[in-house]
Amino acid sequence: MAYVNIPNDLSRIKTKVALNLTKRQLLSFGGAALVGVPTYIFTRNLIGNSAAMFLMIALMLPFFFFAMYERDGLPAEKVARNILRVFFTRPGPRPYKTENFYAILTKEESTVVTDKEDETAADKRKA
């Protein structure tokens, strides 16, 4: 009897378009090829094969990163946008602060005591 594994969470399954790649991955790999291959062809005579190859790889790596990276179901640009929002556009954490009624009472008590001391010192001066 044939046995097929069915994942519990079907929302994580991505629809594959061609070559077992998603549409996002196909577009990113196509963009990498559009940027990297002409760069290699036009620069290999100027800077040499090895340097042109490394330049091509350096230009294609961001495309591969955006095609493959995913964290908690979010693609790389959404993760980067969330990080930028947290650090630069949103206000910082607000600490939980309460009013300390005991401090208010002790402050009032100390002002009452100093007022009484001022009155007694004034009475002594009068006498």
Q: What is the pLDDT of residue 48?
A: 93
| Domain membership flag for residue 105 | no
Single-letter amino acid code for the residue at 114 = T
| Domain membership flag for residue 45 | yes
Q: What is the pLDDT of residue 124?
A: 63
Helix axes 76-84, 49-68, angle to 10 degrees: 80
This model's pTM is above 0.85: no
- The C-alpha atoms of residue 4 and residue 44 are separated, in whole angstroms, by 50
| Domain membership flag for residue 101 | no
| Domain membership flag for residue 49 | yes
| Domain membership flag for residue 117 | no
| Domain membership flag for residue 124 | no
Consecutive 10-residue averages of pLDDT for the chain (127 residues) = 72 71 88 95 94 96 91 89 90 80 76 60 61
| Domain membership flag for residue 112 | no
Domain count of the chain?
Answer: 1
Q: In terms of residue numbers, what domain contains 41?
A: 19-94
